[in-house]
């Protein structure tokens, strides 16, 4: 049990650091007008979750799930930040942008996990 907790904690530190760097890069590249960094990490995290889901199941790597899936990807993806960004856009009166952001983030993240599963199964077939 303690080993899993340490794995999650270490993975979370790596994931959160990667999220911060991705968000900073996206803001520098695209500006502050749209929370692209949050959407990018959620889509990439969903894709990676799909890849790991298949790889760990097929390769017998479930022992890495606490570190990779809960820790790294849990620290990397930002659903609470996503919720805050959507609310902020809404409260600024940018209702259409907020709705577009929610739909795009959820839709692209769902598509990304499906793509990750499909791509990994194709490569491993």
pLDDT (tens digit per residue) in 77-87: 988 889 989 99
Please enumerate in sequence order all residues whose Cβ is within 8 A of that of 82, keeping only pairs 6 or more positions apart, or say none: 35, 38, 39, 42, 105
CB 85 within 8 Å of CB 38: yes
Instruction: Using the predicted structure, report yes or no on whether residue 121 has a pLDDT greater than 90.
Output: yes
In the chain, what are the domain boundaries? 2-124
Q: Which residues of 33-71 are buried (b: 16+ CB within 10 A; e: fewer)?
A: ebbbbbbbbbbbbbbbbbbbbbbbeeeeeeebbbbbbbb
How crowded is residue 14: how many other Cβ atoms within 10 Å of its Cβ? 15
State the Rg of the chain over Cα: 16
Q: With 0-12 CB in 10 A as exposed, 13-18 as middle and 19+ as buried, what is 97? A: middle
List Cα–Cα distances, 81 to 58, 60, 93, 116, in angstroms. Answer: 32, 33, 19, 23
pLDDT tens for 37-78 read 999 999 999 999 999 999 999 999 999 999 999 999 999 998
**pTM attached to this predicted model:** 0.85
């Amino acid at each position: 049990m303690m080993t899993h907790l340490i794995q999650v904690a270490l993975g979370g530190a790596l994931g959160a650091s990667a999220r911060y760097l991705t968000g900073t890069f996206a803001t520098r590249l695209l500006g502050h007008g749209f929370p692209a960094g949050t959407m990018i990490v959620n889509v990439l995290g969903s894709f990676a979750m799909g890849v790991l889901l298949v790889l760990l199941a097929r390769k017998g790597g479930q022992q890495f799930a606490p570190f990779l899936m809960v820790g790294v990807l849990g620290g990397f993806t930002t659903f609470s930040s996503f919720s805050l960004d959507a609310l902020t856009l809404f409260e600024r009166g940018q209702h259409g942008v907020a709705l577009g952001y929610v739909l795009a983030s959820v839709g692209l993240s769902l598509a990304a996990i499906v793509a990750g599963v499909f791509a990994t199964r194709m490569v491993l077939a």
